[in-house]
Each structure stands twice: as structure tokens, then as C-alpha cells.
A and B are shown apart, each in its own frame.
Chain A
Amino acid sequence: MEMKEAIIKLSNLSKHYGQFVAVDRLNLEVHRGEVFGLLGPNGAGKTTTILMMLGLTEPNEGTAYVCGFSAARDPLNVKRKVGYMPDNVGFYNHMTALENLVYIARLNSIEEKRLQERAKTLLDMVGLGAEMNKKAGTFSRGMKQRLGLAEVLIKSPEVIVLDEPTLGIDPAGVKDFLEMIRSLSRQHGLTVLLSSHHLHHVQQVCDRVGIFVRGKLLAQGDIPALSSSLFGKEGHITTVSTVQTILQPWQLEPEMRSWPEIKDISFAANSIEFSSTKEITPDIVRLLVTNGYDILSVKNKEFGLDEIYQKYFENSFNEDTNNGKSANFFTTNGFTASRK
């Protein structure tokens, strides 16, 4: 078991804009080498949190430590270690991609003689090798994101922070981009913090996820842990389809109901759904097979981020229905959509 070192450590971090609380006493640790996803709807306070981590805005309360440096007191050292790609990444339109990149490299005091070569290597890597002498103003959104990634990497960061990196890129581009991030993190031990409101994207690449709604971190952990903490009371759901039609009353039902793990059994024509507190799929299958049932398929219902996300929104929606805020509108939509 490797030691988990917190490379980003936020304690009690808060930010108010007048009466509005953008970030509310946030405590968060991101470990070295992991890909952490900050997931939340628009206006949840993700960008504000990121800005506070980089010392680009001052917290009203609490501290943010990145790579051991305080973001509020020593932002320069933090910025040396952290590559940050803002959500609306923009470049100097009159300069070429290479010039844009070299400028940032110079600001990071990278040796002059290795500058050009390094910038070109990075542009090749993000797939902009052929476009490096084109003006950045002619770039599409996806190309700008790639250039942004190259720029983030040119300073050899320890941590990269990507704010909504998948916003506005087409699905194929998103997949490429996320794979690139993932492999970078794996191969070079980079810590990645990415924020998104797009749960599928986060689900694809993140080791751990924090769910962030209205300035509060509602839950964090890897996706299985999140789902078990959230759906713990429902537990595991196993659906077994059989060739034989299940006749009611089913002769095995009393026996199975007596198992302590089983909470509920429900029937359809050719399938049975078991709700259990533990993973008991092998036992169920063994019992069915020994009783002469031919099994067509066994499905374990997995709780993806979709369910987790909506569950949290549902909760937070229920908590303050009287608040009449625009964020509520979003949650309401998400909520009703999930009902189908």
C-alpha cells in the first residue's frame, strides 16, 4: 500500500460574494498522482475553488495548500508547480501557436536553448504539430484546448488543474482529450484535478470524485465507494434471466427469503431481481443452477455517476426548495429528467 500524500489540501475554505456563499467551508485533499474530478452543476463554486487554490482570488476563510505552499501567501511558488487551464481558454490571436507556447515557457524561466525544441515536442504530442505556425485566432475550440494542455505541460508541473476541459469539444475530441490526460497522469505521476459538470467525462478518467453543489462538497471518494455510501440501503441488485418461465408461487422463494443478505425479491416473466445487502451473485447462481434453471444472463446493477449525481441533486433539492434560486432550476430539471 503506497503512502498517500496530500498534494492539494484545502481546509475550511470559504468564499463569499456579499450575501452569496460561493464556497462554504470546503475540506478536500487530493493525493499525489491521482486524477480527481470535481463534479457539480454550473455555479456550484468549482471555478472559485480553483481560483483560490491558485491564489487568483482570496478566500474569506480557511487555507489552501498546494505542493506544501500556501496559495494565499506564496502564490508564486504554487504557480511554479501547478499548470492551470481556465474554462474559457484564450490565446493571443495574432500570435502563432508556437509563439503563444514559447511566451508562456519564457515566463516560466525555461532555458532559452531548449525552449523551441520543447515547445515543438509538446505541440506534436497534443497533435498540433502541423498547425504550430498557424495563428491561434484561427484555431477551433478543440485545438485551443489542446494548445492549452501543451501550455499547461510546458512548465513540467506537478499538478495540473483543468477547469471544464471538455466543454465545447465534440465527443471524439473529448475521448481523445481525456485519454491523453489519463495517460499523462499514469506515466508521469502527475496529479490532475479536473472540474466538470459532465458526469460521464469525469467517470471515464477520474480515480476519485468530489460532488460539489452550492459551495458544499456533498461527498467524495471513488465511484464504488460513493455508490455504496449512497445506495447502501438498497445495496446490490442482481437480475437473473432464465430460459424457464418462473411460476408463481416460486418454490425457492421461502428458502431465499431466509438468507440474511436478501432484502427483496421481485419477479418478471423470465427474470428474477434480487436486492441484497452484500454481493451474493455466485450464491444465487449456484442455487438456481443446482435447482435446474438454465441461466441466460446475470446482470449486476452498477451505480454510475449518473445515479449518484441525481441522487445528490435530489437530496439537495429537497433540502431547500424554498430558496428559489437559479441553481434550483437546474436541479429540478435534472431531477425530473431522471424520473423518465
Chain B
Amino acid sequence: MENQQIFSQPMVSQQAENNVTPFFARSRAFGVMVEKELADHIRGWRFVVLVGLILLTFVGCLYVSLSNIRTVFANTDDPDHAFLYLKLITTTDGTAPPFHVLLSFLAPLLGISLGFDAINTEQNNGTLTRLLAQPIFRDNVLLAKFTAAVIIVGVLFFSLSLLVIGGGLIFTGVRIEPEELSRILGFVALSIIYVGFWLGLSIMFSIAFKQAATSALSAIGFWLLFTVFYPFLVNLIIRSLLPDPAYLSQAQVMSYNELILDVMRIAPNQLYTDAATTLLMPAVRSLGPMNMEQMAGAIPSPLPVKESLMIVWPQLSGLLASTISCFALSYYLFMRREIRG
């Protein structure tokens, strides 16, 4: 009770700051929240486990590809054989899936585990009411959680890819081409966006469900649905609906194939795999079927980066759009909800 004079000092500078630059105060509060979320992630065991998992994948894949790189690099039948660093990421001898395929499994796990308890744990611990009673915008809470996790994932993926490049430099002594660098960086950006989608989804579930376990299970259920059941279901339904291909003309078969692919591309993992393959394998010219007329006169050679990017642009926009719709739904659920302890 002795030190109560602290209240009688009005926080003049603080008040002035608030009144003059509300935007500054706002962005500062946002920065503080992101900082705190980052610290929470880094201090937690969950993060250690995830980093361990990804590092293990990375080391395993790199070991497999490095032991095969000599034969792959010398294989002149492959138009991509000269892209040493891309080969490092995509090569496999069949014992383990290549890094980019494994990442398409791990990325959802990463996204889900960083977001599934974002809001509901705070609510169950009674910290959410306290937090929202502070002069901060409600949407900033969601945005801070999302941003912090994306920063973590971004730093992780970025340093992994730099490790691949650095390791490759040391082991092979081959100079990296700007083309390869931009493709690898593009792949990293794509992977971050893909994780962002799962993060957005799991944050949405963490708002919708009160129990962290429920939200984690729902997010994992979604992931399983898209990776395992969705292709299976699409095949089942389309096969039963489509006419027998034996009675169709070439053009009709092509158009039906396009349709199947389009339906498959609703699944975000399909979008990601398509885009990653195109970015990491410069010889990929199209993600759909091509007829003989289109193929005529084409030289089997790698595409320039810009052309590959043009091919994956729809995939990229699709991923971004699904991330944003998850986020929009989260906002809708969260903004007007009554928060009680």
C-alpha cells in the first residue's frame, strides 16, 4: 500500500501519443501481440517437435538425393538434368519420397499444429476476455496469431532452403544459377502460402469449437478428407456418371479429363502438388492433358521461370483464395461473438 503515488502521475505522454497517432498506437499493439505469439511458439515443446520432424525429413531426403545426384546429373535424357539444386530437392531413388512431396504432407501438419488451439485455449484459460478488454482491435488478435505462425513457418522454410543450397555448394562445388534460386524461392513462397491455408483453417476451427482437441481433430479430418478420400470419391462419382470412354471421341475424352482435373483441384493439396511440381521441374509444360497438335514441334527442354510461373498462377491464386476465405470466415465467426470467461 505504500507505493500508491504511481497512480497520481497521469501518463501524459501516453495519452498524447494515443490521441495524436492512433494508427501508431494500433500498429504498436499489433506488433506487441505478434511478438508475444512468436515467443510462445518458440518456447513451446510443440515447436521443437515440429522443427525436429522437418529437419529429419530434410536430412533424410538430402541424403538420398545426394547419393544419387551423380547419376541424375549425368542422365542427359532428362531435360532438367542440369538443374543441380532443383534435383537435390526432387531426386529420389524410390526408398523415400522426395522432399517436396514429403513437405506436402508435413505442411498441413505444421499449419494445423500451430493454429488449432489459437483462440479456444485463450478462451478456456480466461485470457481472451482480459485481452479483448484492452484497447486493441478484435481482428488484430486473429491477425497477430496468423502472422506470428506464418513468420515462424517462413523463417523455418527459408532457412531450410538456404541449407539445401549451402549444402549443395559445399558437396558439389557447382555454382547456383539465378534461375534455380528463383525457382527454389518461389517454391518456398508457395509452401508458406500452403501452410497459411491450413493455418487459416485451423484458426477457424479454433474459433468454432470450444475444445482444442475437437478443433485439432476436425482440421486433421479435413486434411485426411482432401488427401485420401477426396481423389477416391471424385473417381468413384465421376466413373459412375461419365459415359464409357470407349464410345467417346478423342475431344470428348479430353474435355472429361479436364473436368476431372478441375474437380480434383478443389483440394488445396492438389493445387500445391501441381504448383510445386511445375516450379521444381522446369520441363513440365502443362498440368492438364495435351493433345498431339499441341505437342507437335515442341522441343523437350526446360521452360524459363516466367513461363513456369504463368502455369502455376491459377494454382497460386486458388491457394491464396482458399486461405483468404478461411480467414474471412474466422473474422465472421469471431468479430461479433460474445466473449466470456
* CA–CA, A273 and B81, complex, Å: 109
Shortest beta-carbon distance, B236 to chain A, in Å? 42
Q: Which of A51, A77, A86, A124 has most chain B Cβ within 10 Å? A: A86
The CA-CA distance from A125 to B136 in the complex, in Å, is 27
A89-B341, A106-B32, A153-B7 known; A111+B14 contact, CB < 8 A? yes
A257 within 8 A of B: no
Instruction: Judge whether A104 and B7 touch: CB under 8 Å.
Output: no
Which of B1, B4, B28, B133 contacts A54 (CB under 8 A)? Answer: B133
A183 near B126 (CB under 8 angstroms)? no
**Shortest distance between the CB of A11 and any CB in chain B (Å):** 21
A82 to B133, CA, bound (A): 8
Chain B contributes a number of interface residues (CB within 8 A of A) equal to 39
Least Cβ–Cβ distance between A191 and chain B, in angstroms: 13
Q: Are the CB atoms of A109 and B126 closer together than 8 Å?
A: no
What residues of chain B lie closer than 8 Å to A108, measured between beta carbons? 14, 134-135
Q: Is B258 in the interface zone, CB < 8 Å from A?
A: no
B125 within 8 A of A: yes
**Does A68 belong to the interface (CB within 8 Å)?**
no
Contact call A110/B1, Cβ cutoff below 8 A: no
Q: Which of A85, A109, A121, A125 contacts B28 (CB 8 A)?
A: A109
Nearest-neighbor residue (CB-CB) of A117 within chain B? B6
Chain A residues with CB below 8 A from B29, complex form = 106-107, 109
* Cβ proximity bits B109-121 to A, threshold 8 Å, 1 near / 0 not: 0000000000000
Residues of B within 8 A of A104 (CB): 130, 134
* Whole-angstrom distance between the Cβ of A151 and the nearest chain B Cβ: 7
Which of B98-106, B237-245, B263-271, B332-340 binds A? Answer: B332-340
Given contacts A109-B29, A156-B11, contact A92 B338 (CB under 8 A): no
Residue of A56, A121, A124 near B129 (CB, 8 A) is A56
Which residues of chain B come closer than 8 Å to A79, judged between CB atoms?
A: 133-136
Alpha-carbon gap, A183 to B134, bound state (A): 24
Q: Decide if A230 is an interface residue (CB 8 Å cutoff).
A: no
- Whether A88 pairs with B18 at a CB distance below 8 angstroms is no
**A125 touching B1 in the complex, CB below 8 Å, given contacts A79-B133, A107-B134:** yes
- Does A184 reach chain B (CB closer than 8 Å)? yes
Task: Tell me, rounded to whole Å, the shortest Cβ–Cβ distance linking B332 to chain A.
Answer: 15
Which 6 A-B residue pairs are closest in the complex by CB-CB distance? A90-B126, A88-B341, A84-B133, A57-B338, A106-B32, A90-B125
11 A-B pairs (CB sep. < 8 Å)? A56-B129, A76-B136, A90-B127, A93-B125, A94-B44, A104-B130, A108-B135, A124-B3, A148-B130, A156-B11, A156-B14
